[in-house]
């Protein structure tokens, strides 16, 4: 039975022209996505650079939507001829069903197998990818509207007093939680006006500006704003790290492990370098003493 299933899969699925074309389409998409993803995961990646990369990826996918199917068809036919696969789509059997009373019985447009594949497979994948990236790009633009004037020294120096004052007020309102404020817009405005005169002529990013401010003690609100900007994640790889550690922690012999314990062990395995710097015995003693103290209060 296993041999029969493997033979059927090899002869009817993997050796079909449709599977070959699908592989080429996925390769063209994932190759570009992988390049952008690696750039976004670099340690010194900033929001403005990430916006440029994602915007370029969206433009590529939109152009690929127009011309990519024809190019993929050409490549697939060349490869199919080389490996001995007939470069045609297999006509699948159409299952006829009884129409309901409210359905029209007029002439229906019958699409070819190739056009059906293009609409239901190729365009479906591209449109979902573009929609997902548009959501990510909208989030980046939200950050740009709030922190855009702090992305680099060039953008900061291009702001006049009116626009700089407006940006500082907008940032204050965005970081406000009720009556609690992370920064004061008026104080930040005065600090930035003075900071513009101190910054060197070469272009400096947000991280470089923050390092430049370490030699001064008179820019508290600017330092807070830059730290908040630099802690905004450009992208996350938690899912990739979780799957890579999962089988090491929860094997078939440990299938009864609870979810809370699994999450804790996974976090300890991922952040192993940070864990080695901690004194676990002291933390356990402090936790135990705190637990005894709370128990004594309640009793």
pLDDT tens for 160-182 read: 889 999 999 998 888 888 888 88
The verdict on residue 222 lying in a domain is: yes
Q: Could you list the residue range(s) of the whole structural domain that residue 246 is in?
A: 238-250+259-298
The pLDDT assigned to 58 comes to 93
The pLDDT assigned to 237 comes to 55
**Domain shared by 220 and 127, yes or no:** no
**Domain shared by 70 and 156, yes or no:** no
pLDDT at 195 over 80: yes
The verdict on residue 26 lying in a domain is: yes
The verdict on residue 14 lying in a domain is: yes
Q: Three-class SS string for the chain?
A: CHHHHHHHHHHHHHCCHHHHHHHHHHHHHHHHHHHHHHHHCCCCCCHHHHHHHHHHHHHHHHHHHHHHHHHHHHHHHHHHHHHCCCCCCCCCCCCCCCCCCCCCCCCCCCCCHHHHHHHHHHHHHHHHHHHHHHHHHHHHHHHHHHHHHHCEHHHHHHCCHHHHHHHHHHHHHHCCECCECCCCHHHHHHHHHHHHHHCCCCCCEHHHHHHHHHHCCCCHHHHHHHHHHHCCCCCCCHHHHHHHHHHHHCCHHHCCCCHHHHHHHHHHHHCHHHHHCCCHHHHHHHHHHHHHHHHHHHC
**Domain shared by 33 and 129, yes or no:** yes
Q: What is the CB-side half-sphere exposure of residue 215 using CA atoms within 13 A?
A: 7
**Domain shared by 219 and 246, yes or no:** no
Specify the length of the chain in residues. 299
The pLDDT assigned to 26 comes to 93
The pLDDT assigned to 245 comes to 59
**Domain shared by 204 and 88, yes or no:** no
**Domain shared by 140 and 156, yes or no:** no
**Domain shared by 217 and 269, yes or no:** no
The verdict on residue 106 lying in a domain is: no
The pLDDT assigned to 96 comes to 62
**Domain shared by 7 and 84, yes or no:** yes
The verdict on residue 98 lying in a domain is: no
The verdict on residue 289 lying in a domain is: yes
pLDDT tens digit string along 203-222? 888 888 888 888 888 888 89
**Domain shared by 119 and 221, yes or no:** no
The verdict on residue 176 lying in a domain is: yes
pLDDT at 49 over 70: yes
pLDDT at 259 over 90: no
Domain count, the chain: 3
What does the pLDDT average to over 17-38? 90
**Domain shared by 53 and 34, yes or no:** yes
Average confidence score pLDDT of the chain: 81
**Domain shared by 204 and 269, yes or no:** no
The pLDDT assigned to 107 comes to 53
The verdict on residue 103 lying in a domain is: no
Asked if 241 contacts 270 with a C-beta cutoff of 8 angstroms, the reply is: yes
**Domain shared by 200 and 225, yes or no:** yes
pLDDT at 241 over 60: no
- Give the model's confidence band at 16: pLDDT under 50 very low, under 70 low, under 90 confident, else very high: confident
């Amino acid at each position: 039975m296993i041999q029969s299933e493997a033979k059927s899969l090899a002869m009817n699925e993997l050796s079909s022209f449709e599977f070959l074309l699908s592989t080429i389409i996925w390769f063209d998409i994932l190759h570009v996505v992988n390049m952008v993803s690696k750039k976004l995961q670099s340690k010194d990646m900033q929001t403005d650079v990430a916006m440029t990369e994602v915007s370029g990826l969206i433009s590529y996918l939109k152009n690929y939507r127009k011309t990519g199917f024809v190019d993929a068809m050409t490549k697939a036919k060349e490869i199919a001829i080389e490996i001995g696969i007939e470069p045609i789509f297999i006509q699948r059997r159409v299952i006829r069903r009884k129409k309901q009373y409210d359905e029209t019985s007029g002439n229906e447009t019958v699409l070819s197998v190739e056009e059906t594949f293009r609409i239901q497979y190729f365009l479906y994948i591209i449109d979902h990818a573009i929609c997902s990236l548009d959501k990510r790009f909208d989030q980046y633009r939200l950050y740009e509207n709030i922190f855009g004037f702090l992305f680099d020294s060039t953008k900061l120096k291009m702001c006049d007093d009116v626009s700089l004052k407006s940006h500082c007020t907008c940032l204050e309102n965005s970081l406000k939680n009720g009556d609690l404020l992370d920064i004061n817009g008026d104080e930040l405005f005065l600090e930035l006006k003075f900071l513009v005169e101190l910054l060197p002529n070469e272009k400096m990013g947000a991280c470089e500006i923050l390092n430049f401010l370490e030699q001064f003690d008179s820019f508290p609100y600017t330092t807070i704003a830059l730290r908040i900007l630099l802690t905004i994640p450009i992208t996350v790889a938690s899912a990739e790290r979780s799957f890579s550690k999962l089988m090491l922690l929860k094997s078939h012999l440990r299938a009864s492990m609870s979810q809370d314990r699994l999450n804790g062990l996974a976090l300890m395995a991922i952040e192993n370098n940070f864990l080695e710097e901690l004194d676990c015995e002291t933390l356990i003693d402090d936790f135990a003493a705190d637990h005894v103290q709370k128990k004594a209060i309640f009793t």
